[in-house]
Amino acid sequence: MGSKSNLKELKARIEDILPSSLSDIFVEFEGPELILYTRDVDYFAENTTVIKNIAKAIRKRVVIRPDPDILVDATEAERVIKEMIPEEAGVQAIIFDDDLGEVSIEALSPGVAIGKLGQNLNKIKLKLGWIPKVIRAPPINSKTVNDVRKYLYENRLERKEFLKTVGNHIHRSADMSDIWVRTVFLGGAREVGRSATLLMTKNSKVLVDCGLNVSAGKISPHLELPDVGTFDSIDAVVLTHAHLDHSGLIPFLVKYGFDGPIYTTQPTRDMAALLQLDYLKVAVGDGGRAPYDSEDIRKQVLHTIPVKYGDTTGIAPDIRLTLHNAGHIIGSAMAHFHIADGFYNIAFTGDMKFENTWLFNRAEKKFPRLEALIMESTYGGPNDFQPTHTEAKEDLKQIIERTFNRGGKIIIPVFAVGRSQEVMLVIEELMREGSIEEAPVYLDGMILEATAIHTAYPEYLNSDLRAKIFHQNQNPFLSSIFHNVDSPQVRKQILEENIDKCIVLATSGMMNGGPVLEYLKQWAHDETNSLVFVGYQAVDTIGNKLQKGTKELILNDKGTQKTVEINLEVNTCDGFSGHSDRHQLLRYLRKVTPKPKRVIFVHGEESKSIDISQTVSRKLGIDGYAPYNMEALRYK
C-alpha cells in the first residue's frame, strides 16, 4: 500500500472514532508520527483518552496540532504573551515552532508563568491558537543549545519537507514473508573506538552509531563493506550517545550521500554537534584534514529526530525503536529494536553504567521483550573492578590534600562530557564541606559549555541533582571556585603566573590533543605537581603511556618537537568512569528482564571481550560471544 492511499484509509478510520460534530481534520505523516491537524484543539485537550484510542486503533504515534489557519501571527503573538505573563516570571525567551503549532516560553519561575491552575496558558491558547509550553530557563546559558534551536527555526520549512519524506519512507509497503535479522560489525568489535553496527532485515538497514577512533590507528569503521552499500541505502542512523567514538563520523555519512533520519535524544543531538565541531577545529588546527565540514554537522542537526526515553517509534516498515536511559553521559541511551511485530527483539546497550552516579540514574534493566543483547565490555576483564563512589571521592580527596601540602598543582584530563561534570560536583562538595583547602578550579576546553547543556536538560539528570539546582537554589556548577578558561590568553596567564595550589580540568581525556597538553608541558617536570586520570585511557594514547610509567614524552610545541620529562606524581582515580566494571556488567545480566538468549560483547579490548563472553556462557548459561570486525551474525 502506498503512503497516500494509506493516509486516506487512516483518515477514514480516525473519522469513524471522532464525533461527527468536529470540523474537518487533516492528516499527514511527519517522520515516524501521524499528525492530525484540527481547529478543535480544545476537544482533544478535554478528552485526553481519544488520542490514546486512535493511536491504539491505527497502531501509530498520533500528535494533535492546531490548524495553521487559527494561529495568530508570531510577532503579534509574542507581544500579547509578554503582556499576559507577569514580569516576575522572568521570561527569558519566547520560541515559536510553526511545525508543531507550539510556543515555548522559557522562564526563571515557571510556576508564575503558568499561573494558578494553568490560567495563563489557557488564555494564550484561547486568544492566540498556539499551544503554549513553559520550560525552565537553564541556569547556565548554552550557546550550542541556542544555536541549534535558532538553526532549526530558520530552516523549519526544509525540515518539514524532510520529515514528510521520512514519514512516507517509513510507512512504505514491505515484504513481510521470510523475514530475517542480522548484524554486521563495522567497528568497535574486540576494540574500543569507531563503534558502528549495521542492523539488517529483509526490508531495512539501520546503522547503530558511527564513530571514529579517538586513539592512534585506524580512524574509520569498515563502511566499505558490500552490506553497507551506498550511504543513501541506509534507512536510519540510531545514535546511542555523543562521544566521538560513537558519533564522530555521522557527518561523514551525510557528506557522502546519507539523507535519512538520525534518531537520538535531544541532549545527545546538541552535545554531538558540540563535540564534532571541536573535532573539526582540532583536526584543522593540527594541520590535518577533516573528513567533513561544519555544514555537514548542521545538516545532521536538521535531520535529527529526537526521541524521549520510553517512547516507541517506527523507524522503518518493520522496525520500531525505543530508547532507554544508559546512565553513561547526558542523554545516553540503550537502543531497543522491536522487529516485525514481535518476530525478534534486540537491544544495544551502547556505553552503560549500572550504578547511580553523581549525575545520572543507573541504566534501565527492564524491556518488554528481549532475545539478544549487544553489550559493551570496556571493563570486562577479570581484574576490572572499580571502587564505590564513596571510595572514589576519598581517593581524590587524598590526592588533592597530598599535592596541596606540597604546594603543587593538579592536572585532571577529562572528557568534556560526563566525567568533567562528576569531578566538578565532587571537588565542589569537598571544598564546600571544608574537607580540602579551597583553591581555584580552572575549566579548560568545552567543559563549561558541556555543563550548560546538562542544565538545559534537567530531566536527564538524577532527582537529587535536579532538586538541588531547581528547588533548593544550590547549583554546584555555579560555585565561585570554578573559573572558565575561555581563551589561549587566559591559559597563558595561568601558566606564566605560576599560581600556587590550583586544579585544572582540561580536555582531551586521553591526552592525545587538546589544552591539557599545554599544562603538561609546563608542569610535568615539577615533582610537587600531580596528574590524575579519572577516565578510560585507550591503548597507545598518551594517557595510557603515562599510566604505564613513561618518564619522557616528545610533544609538538608550536611546530617544533619538545622533550617533556615526567616527574610529577601520576595517579589513576577509579570510580569516576561512566562505564560499568566487570561486577556491574555481570550483575546487569543477572538483573535484566527478560533474560536474553544471546549476549554479544563489543566495545572492549580483545582479551576482555573474549573473557567476559566465556564467563557469561559458563556461569550464567547465556550464549556469549565476542565478534570480530567485519563479521556478520544472523539471529533468526
Which grid coordinates are listed for 267?
541532549
Q: Running DSSP on this structure, what letter comes out for residue 620?
A: I
d(CA 577, CA 446): 19
Q: What is the 3 state secondary structure string of 211-266?
A: CCCCCCCCCCCCCCCCCCCCHHHCCEEECCCCCHHHHCCHHHHHHCCCCCCEEECH
> Residues of CATH 3.30.300.230 domain(s) within the chain?
3-69
CATH class of 395-572: alpha beta
pLDDT of residue 286: 63
Q: How confident is the model at residue 217 (pLDDT cuts 50, 70, 90)?
A: low
Output the pTM of the full model: 0.91
pLDDT at 284 over 80: no
Mean pLDDT across the stretch 93-106? 85
State the fold for domain 72-137.
GMP Synthetase; Chain A, domain 3 (3.30.300)
- What is the residue whose three cell numbers read 541549534? 148
* 355-410: pLDDT as tens digits: 999 999 999 999 999 999 999 999 999 999 999 888 999 999 999 999 999 999 99
402: exposed, middle or buried (C-beta count within 10 Å: 0-12, 13-18, 19+)?
middle
pLDDT of residue 5: 62
pLDDT of residue 1: 44
- Could you give the count of Cα atoms lying within 13 Å of 473 in the half-sphere of its Cβ? 2
SS3 (DSSP) at 461: coil
d(CA 15, CA 40): 14
* 476-524: pLDDT as tens digits: 999 999 999 999 999 999 998 878 899 999 998 889 888 999 999 999 9
Q: Determine how β-strand 569-572 pairs with β-strand 530-533.
A: parallel
d(CA 412, CA 427): 12
pLDDT at 110 over 50: yes
**Using an 8 Å Cβ cutoff, are 65 and 35 in contact?**
yes
Go through the chain and tell me how many residues it has: 636
What homologous superfamily does CATH list for 173-382+579-634?
A: Ribonuclease Z/Hydroxyacylglutathione hydrolase-like (3.60.15.10)
> Residues of CATH 3.30.300.20 domain(s) within the chain?
72-137
pLDDT at 207 over 70: yes
623: exposed, middle or buried (C-beta count within 10 Å: 0-12, 13-18, 19+)?
middle
Task: Please state which CATH number belongs to domain 3-69.
Answer: 3.30.300.230
d(CA 164, CA 17): 25
Checking phi first, is residue 478 left (phi over 0); if not, alpha (psi -120 to 50) or beta? alpha
**Cβ neighbours, 10 Å, residue 433:** 9
**Cβ neighbours, 10 Å, residue 291:** 18
Q: Running DSSP on this structure, what letter comes out for residue 540?
A: T
> Residues of CATH 3.40.50.10890 domain(s) within the chain?
395-572
